């Protein structure tokens, strides 16, 4: 099994302009994300996919391979698929967003473990323990509930499930937007028609589920900080790592 990690990165960002080039602990965010992925021994190749010459220059400064993509591509998944089409020798494709500067190599290993163990899901992702006090009712944080085999039943911005009976272990996790795909499925997935729940929740992964595909969810021992606003960037730089 050969694994390719593609990091889609665009310069435009509404809530945090020029996010990829913002400094996190003195280093551009996209550089830190790339170096975190590069440190994973279970990944055969890491590339950055971008339509920005500025991002290209910044990541090449730390040795990254960069592939320029069409600026008209609508999503990061489309950018990842465009690169995967040119590299048929890879079996598993990882989509790692460029705004994950705290990604740990171990998390990428956790993501692809089902493939290494022969399970070979069409699509896989990660989740970690929910911070109920701060995250459960926040629509910016995506929740996921699982079946008994570790596959997603549903992803939502709403607080799911409805807690009618309190228990010690509420069966919900905090989803992380990190994905792995069988290469052939990734190419099919980006051609699937958008679906009602995807459009309602603005969650791309629901498209796969609404078309009848299952998403394997591995639980991570680690968690990352999502950076989408100036406040979250300030918090990231205040963290001691």
Residue 8 within any structural domain of the chain: yes
Query: Dihedral of CA 38/43/44/47: which sign?
Result: negative
* Residues contacting residue 103 through CB under 8 Å, at least 6 positions apart: 33, 36, 37, 96, 178, 224
Residue 27 within any structural domain of the chain: yes
Q: State the pTM of this model.
A: 0.94
Whether the pLDDT of residue 239 is over 90: the answer is no
pLDDT in tens, 213-234: 999 999 999 988 878 888 889 9
Instruction: Tell me the CATH number at 20.
Output: 3.90.550.10
What are the φ and ψ backbone dihedral angles of 32, each rounded to 5 degrees?
Answer: -65, -40
Nearest of 115, 111, 141, 116 to residue 129 by alpha carbon: 141
pLDDT in tens, 60-71: 999 999 999 999
Distance CA 137, CA 153 (A): 19
Residue 168 within any structural domain of the chain: no
Q: How many domains does the chain have?
A: 1
Residue 134 within any structural domain of the chain: no
Domain that holds residue 22: 3-125+176-194+203-238
Residue 139 within any structural domain of the chain: no
pLDDT in tens, 70-115: 998 988 999 999 999 999 999 999 999 999 999 999 999 999 999 9
């Amino acid at each position: 099994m050969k694994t390719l990690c593609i990091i889609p990165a665009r310069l435009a960002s509404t809530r945090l302009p020029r996010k990829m080039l913002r400094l996190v602990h003195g280093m551009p965010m996209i550089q830190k994300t790339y170096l975190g992925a590069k440190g994973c021994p279970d990944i055969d190749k890491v590339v950055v996919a971008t339509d920005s010459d500025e991002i290209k220059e910044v990541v090449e400064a730390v040795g990254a391979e960069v592939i320029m993509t069409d600026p008209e591509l609508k999503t990061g998944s489309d950018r990842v698929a465009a690169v995967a089409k040119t590299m048929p020798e890879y079996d598993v494709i990882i989509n790692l967003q460029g705004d994950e500067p705290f990604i740990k190599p171990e998390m990428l290993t956790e993501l692809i473990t089902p493939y290494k163990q022969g399970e070979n899901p069409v699509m896989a992702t990660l989740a970690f323990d929910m911070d109920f006090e701060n995250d459960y009712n926040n629509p910016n944080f995506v929740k996921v509930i699982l079946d008994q085999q570790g596959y997603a039943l549903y992803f939502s911005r709403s607080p799911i499930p409805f807690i009618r009976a309190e228990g010690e272990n509420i069966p919900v996790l905090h989803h992380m937007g990190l994905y792995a795909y069988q290469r052939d499925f990734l190419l099919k997935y980006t051609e699937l028609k958008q679906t009602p729940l995807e459009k309602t929740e603005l969650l791309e992964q629901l498209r796969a589920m609404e078309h009848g595909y299952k998403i394997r969810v591995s639980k991570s021992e680690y968690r990352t900080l999502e950076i989408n606003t100036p406040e979250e960037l300030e918090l990231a730089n205040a963290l001691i790592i």
